Structure 1
Amino acid sequence: MSRKPSFANLRDRSVPAPTPAPVADAGPADTAGAGAPRPNSREGRKQIAGFFSPDMSLAMHMLARRQGRSLQALMAEAFNDALRKYGESPIGD
């Protein structure tokens, strides 16, 4: 049985610096510097992320699947419920 190759021997290799590709005016959609413009569905939106237990992740993904909805839609519903609970106006999406 062969072992996985070790990448330790690559540590001392000199790697040529990548040459940046010329970029046309990408506008405000490419402000994150990721290189590709954002999809239209993300225009005007901000990411909210969190770290949860594997059990919570599985439960939410299974619920989304059973309901025929996206995980993002369920999260929006939960955030709106939390806003209502604390006397704030729900946002809606």
Structure 2
Amino acid sequence: MNRIASLIALLLLAGCAGTTLDSSVDQELWVGKSRVDLVAAKGPPDSEQSILFGGSVLIFVSDDHRLTAIFPKGPTRHKCMTRFKVDEGGTIVDVSKSGNCHS
């Protein structure tokens, strides 16, 4: 019984963990590029948050998500959020992801 509980816990943690591998790929692709290029490639962000001392964070929520059927209520969708930090000059300075990100 302990093995089953451990396996379920491991699967739950793996599904909720953010991926740093995808973030590093996005870092290489987008850091140093302009906000205009990002919006031209991905479309408008799902939301935007202003940063206190200038700049903003553009948030994109991926439609590409996995279904998991390990939860008691049946299949559950987990989305991936990608955040692009943009400085006051419109240049991307950081990229991070959270949620069920893959590919």
More strand by share: 2
Greater RCO, 1 or 2 (C-alpha within 8 Å, sep 6+): 2
Q: TM-score, normalised by structure 2?
A: 0.19
**Which is greater in Rg?**
1
Q: TM-score, normalised by structure 1?
A: 0.21
More helix by share: 1
